[in-house]
Amino acid sequence: MIDRLIEKIQKTEAPIVVGLDPQMNFIPDRIQEKAFREFGETLEGAAEAVWQFNKGIVDAVCDLVPAVKPQIAMYEQFGVPGLAAFQKTVAYCRQKGLIVIGDIKRGDIGSTSAAYAVGHLGKIRIGEKEYAPFEEDMATVNPYLGTDGVKPFLKVCAEQDKGIFVLVKTSNPSSGEFQDRYIAVPEAEDGPASIFLKDPAGLSEIMDNVHFRPLYEVVGEKVAEWAAEPSLTGKYGYSEVGAVVGATYPEMGAVLRKIMPRSYILVPGYGAQGGTGKDLTAFFNEDGLGAIVNSSRGIIAAWTKEPYAEKYGADHYADAARAAVLDMKEDIRQALG
């Protein structure tokens, strides 16, 4: 799937993902009113409004970008009907030729992660039949539980030509609370530092054999290890195992870009969260590949904000999204030079 993503990025000349994270206040009144007339002020009505809104956005941007990233939480909040709208959105986007990155941030112990991997990227066998329940092309994965929780995703990626992006350094303000903590890392796996790891009081004796790195680098190194698996490497040298690194932390992005040479970096945090075009250069390799930048609110809610609000307004929310994508494409083009 990473090869297809790269080819679509090259064709559209847009290393851009449109985040389909619809909140009710992004959805024009007339779409909400129509959905509520048909389904009432119910979870079904809200889900219908989300779906119709998404359809408009997708129709307006599908020729401009390689991929979309629906954030499943925004659908899950509307319960089962919301998740049906998620599934319908995934299927519609794929039908339009877009690569769908499910922003699911799942991660659990092995047998449970296997269920998530199958449900979102794989196929489940029921009796004599097989089904692809949500059928995203790629998905985000939370690494807190370690290799156990990631391996089932790797297996599905290899078998079904899918990809993942592992959370390494997230874009939110408090991401540093744990992710930036300095970790004592032994120089050699079996060196004296391994004693230290069992007995931190012995640190002073082995000081020369330990160095200190933030947790996100340690996670990044593990991602690089997962990504190195040959069966997951595509023809352009990139792996099906990518990483999430926030645009809001460009210095860390530059370090992580080097630590994970085979991983595509999915970069959230551009636009509404504060990341700018200039911040993005650190995430790309010199050939212009290696990163794909997400914008959600900046595109799907463009019609609510200047400079798009006055020109487009609620009735032309999809055209506003298209204009915002074109502006973002230009911003990134200029930044990458």
Residues assigned a catalytic role = 105
Chosen residue from 8, 69, 162, 222 binding a copy of itself by CB under 8 A? 222
What is the b/e burial string over 79-106, where b = at least 16 CB atoms within 10 angstroms of the residue's CB?
A: eebbbbbbbbbbebbeeeebbbbbbbbb
Instruction: With H, G, I as helix, E, B as strand and everything else as coil, classify residue 68.
Output: strand
Q: Based on CB atoms, which residue is closest to a copy of itself, 170 or 239?
A: 170
Do residues 303 and 312 make contact, with C-beta atoms less than 8 angstroms apart? yes
Residue with tokens 């352009």: 236
Options 76-84, 153-161, 315-323, 325-333: segment touching a copy of itself (CB under 8 A): 76-84
Q: Based on CB atoms, which residue is closest to a copy of itself, 215 or 289?
A: 215
Instruction: With H, G, I as helix, E, B as strand and everything else as coil, classify residue 105.
Output: strand
Q: What part of residues 133-162 is at the interface with a copy of itself (CB under 8 A)?
A: 133-134, 142-149
Chosen residue from 18, 54, 164, 170 binding a copy of itself by CB under 8 A? 170
Chosen residue from 159, 187, 197, 305 binding a copy of itself by CB under 8 A? 197
Q: Which residues contact 159 (CB under 8 A, 6 or more apart)?
A: 122
Chosen residue from 64, 91, 115, 335 binding a copy of itself by CB under 8 A? 115
Q: What part of residues 252-291 is at the interface with a copy of itself (CB under 8 A)?
A: none
Does position 80 interact with a copy of itself (CB under 8 A)? The reply is: yes
Do residues 9 and 292 make contact, with C-beta atoms less than 8 angstroms apart? yes
Q: Based on CB atoms, which residue is closest to a copy of itself, 143 or 234?
A: 143
Does position 128 interact with a copy of itself (CB under 8 A)? The reply is: yes
Q: What part of residues 14-53 is at the interface with a copy of itself (CB under 8 A)?
A: 21, 23-24, 36, 41-43, 45-46
Cα-only R_g, the chain: 21
Do residues 169 and 214 make contact, with C-beta atoms less than 8 angstroms apart? no
